[in-house]
């Protein structure tokens, strides 16, 4: 289709080799909506505390499956480097036990406007939480807010 817009995504083939492929923006929006609706459903079925437990477990598994960057100074730095390789910009700061992280995503402007979920979230929140939990297993995601340029996250470190 001539009017179909596509986003470019960098897919990691190996640590040292990447290939650029086209991914339909509607598909990227679907992935955002799918995660958002799953989170809403988990909270409705299990309640807030049990849904957080499942989300944390999933984050732990995700970050080990995707490999956060085990040779980086910290797991969060490893994820930030990976996101940079995927074409995103990250910045973060720590204030006491709170970690605030911002991701500027080249797809946000086109994808976020297509979301249909009433409570949309960025799928990267789960990945970032998993990275934090490698250093502090009790860390929790406290905010996942989409912005016009990407997303802002806040995480609470429990053991700091």
pLDDT for 43-53, tens place per residue? Answer: 999 999 998 99
Residues 6+ apart with CB under 8 A from 59: 126, 127, 129, 130, 133, 141
Give the pLDDT score at 111.
Answer: 94
Pairing of strands 150-156, 140-146: antiparallel
Q: What is the dihedral of CA 103, 107, 110, 113, to 10 degrees?
A: -40
Q: How far apart are CA 155 and CA 79, in angstroms?
A: 15
In this model, does residue 2 exceed pLDDT 50?
no
In this model, does residue 143 exceed pLDDT 70?
yes
Per-residue pLDDT, averaged over 1-12, amounts to 37
Q: Which fold has domain 6-156?
A: Muramoyl-pentapeptide Carboxypeptidase; domain 2 (3.30.1380)
Per-residue pLDDT, averaged over 126-140, amounts to 92
pTM for the model stands at: 0.79
Q: What is the DSSP letter of 15?
A: S
Q: How far apart are CA 39 and CA 123, in angstroms?
A: 11
Kindly report, residue by residue over 70-127, the tens digit of the pLDDT.
Answer: 555 788 888 888 899 889 999 989 999 999 999 999 999 999 999 999 999 999 999 9
Give the pLDDT score at 13.
Answer: 37
In this model, does residue 22 exceed pLDDT 90?
no
What are the angstrom distances between the C-alpha of 157 and each of 98, 111, 116, 142, 154? 6, 30, 31, 10, 10
- Say if CB 119 and CB 102 are below 8 A apart: no
Per-residue pLDDT, averaged over 130-146, amounts to 93
Question: Which alpha helices (DSSP H) does the chain contain, by range?
Answer: 25-46, 48-66, 75-85, 108-111, 124-135
């Amino acid at each position: 289709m001539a009017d179909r817009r596509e986003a470019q995504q960098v897919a990691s083939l190996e640590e040292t080799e990447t290939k650029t492929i086209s991914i339909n923006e509607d598909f990227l929006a679907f992935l955002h909506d799918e995660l958002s609706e799953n989170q809403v459903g988990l909270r409705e079925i299990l309640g807030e505390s049990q849904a957080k437990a499942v989300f944390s477990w999933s984050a732990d598994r995700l970050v080990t499956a995707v490999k956060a960057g085990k040779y980086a100074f910290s797991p969060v730095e490893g994820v930030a480097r990976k996101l940079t390789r995927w074409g995103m910009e990250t910045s973060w700061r720590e204030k006491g036990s709170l970690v605030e992280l911002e991701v500027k995503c080249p797809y946000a402007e086109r994808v976020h406007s297509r979301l249909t979920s009433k409570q949309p979230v960025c799928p990267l929140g789960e990945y970032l939480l998993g990275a934090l939990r490698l250093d502090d297993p009790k860390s929790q995601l406290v905010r996942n807010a989409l912005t016009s340029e990407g997303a802002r996250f806040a995480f609470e470190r429990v053991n700091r």
